Chain A
C-alpha cells in the first residue's frame, strides 16, 4: 500500500517536473523567436527563408538540446541558428554558382511573396520608426556574415564575449575582432545615428 502511494507520488512529481520544463522551454522560445527571426532575415534578406531557419532551429533545439542547463540555452540556440544560416549561405552559394554556369537568370523570388502586406500599414510615426530599423537592418545585412553575427549577438542580444564565442563557434579574440570591424563599418554607414 505504502509502495503504491510512494510510486504514485513519484509519478505526480515527474509529471509536474516535465510540465515545468515545458513551460520554461516555451517561455525561452517565445523570448528569442523575434530576434532570431530578424537575425535570420538580415542574413538571408528573405522573411520566408528566415521563418524556415528559425523553425528548424527551434525543432532541433527542443528535440536534442532542451535537457542542457538553462544557463546554456541562449548561446546554444543561437549556435544552432547560426549553423543553419551558414548552411543556407553555402547552399545558396552553390545554387548561384550552378545557375551562373548554366546561364539561368537570377532568381528574384516570388513577386506575390515579396509584395507588401496591406494589413501591415502603420501610423506615420511607426512608419518612421520602421524605416530606421530597416536602414539599420540593411546596413547590418551588408556586413560579412561573421561580423553580422558578432554585432547581433554581442550588441543586440547582449551576450557576453564568452557566450558569443560559444554561439559563433570561434575564439573570444575572433569575436572581438569581428565586432570591432562591424562597429567601424556601421559607424561609417549610419552617421545619422551617432
Chain B
C-alpha cells in the first residue's frame, strides 16, 4: 500500500534540506537570473557596434543617394551609418572606427543612366556576425533606393520595401525573447539533474539510503517523494525566472502559464529520475560532474539553444530528436512566443512524458542495486 503521508514526509525533508542550504538556494534562484541578464546584454548589444561608412562619389546624384541610404540605415538594428569621403575609408576600417564601407563608383552618374549601378561593399571582416548583418541589410536596401534616385532610368522598375509582417513576435522582438523559454527549460533540467544526483549520492555515502530501504517505505514512495520535492523547487525556479525576464528584461510572454508549468514539471520528473539513475554510476560528486559533458552538453548544443534544430547537419538533426531538451524547447517556445495550446504541443508533451517514464524505470532499477 502506498502512503501519501510517507511520500510527503520525504518531499518535506527534501524541501527543508534545501531551505537550510543557502548556497544551493542561491545557485537555484540567483544563478539563472545572472546568466539571463548577461545574455540579455550580450545578445542585444553586440549588433550596436556595427558602423558603416558610406562614401559617395563627387557628383550630386551620388550624394543624394548616399544621404537616402544613410537616413534609411542609421539606427536600424543597431547600425550606425556615416557619410565619409572615399579617401577616409581604408583608415576607418583599419583602426576599427568602421566595420564596413559602401563605396560609390567614380562614374556613378553615368552608371545610373544606364540602369545598372555597382556599388562596392568592403567589410572589415574579422567579426563574421557583424559582416553578415551589414551585408544582408545592404542587399535589401540599395536596390530600392537606387531605383528611386533622381535621374534614374525611368524604365527601371521601382522597388520599394514594405514594412515586414510578423507571424509571431514583432519588430521589438529580441534574441532574449527567443531564448528565454529555452533557458527556463535548461535551468530546471540542469539544476534538478545535478542536485538530485548529488542528493542521492549523499544518501548512499552517508548511509541514510539503508535506513530508508529498511523503513516501511517502498521504492515508489521513495521516487515519488523525491519527484515532488524537486518539482516544487523547479517550479519555484521557473516562476522566479519568468517574473524576472518579464518584468526586468521586458521579455514578451503570450502563453498559458499552466501549460508552461506542465512542460517544466514533465521535464523535472525526467531530470530527477535521471539524477537518481546516474548517481548509481558515480562514487563521488566529481564523478557526477563527469556526466555533464556526456548527458547535458549535447542537449544544450543540439536542443536549439545555440543553433536552430532545423539548421543542424542531417545526423545531428536526427540525434536532436532523441533528446528531451529539444522537445522541451519546442514546447516552451510554442507556449511562450506563439501562445500555442495543449492541442498544438501534445506531441512534445508525449515525448517528455515518455522520457520521464523511461527515467523512472531507470531510477527504480538503480534502487534495486541497493539491495543484496
A and B co-occur in one complex: no
Binding site for B on A (CB under 8 A): none
Binding site for A on B (CB under 8 A): none
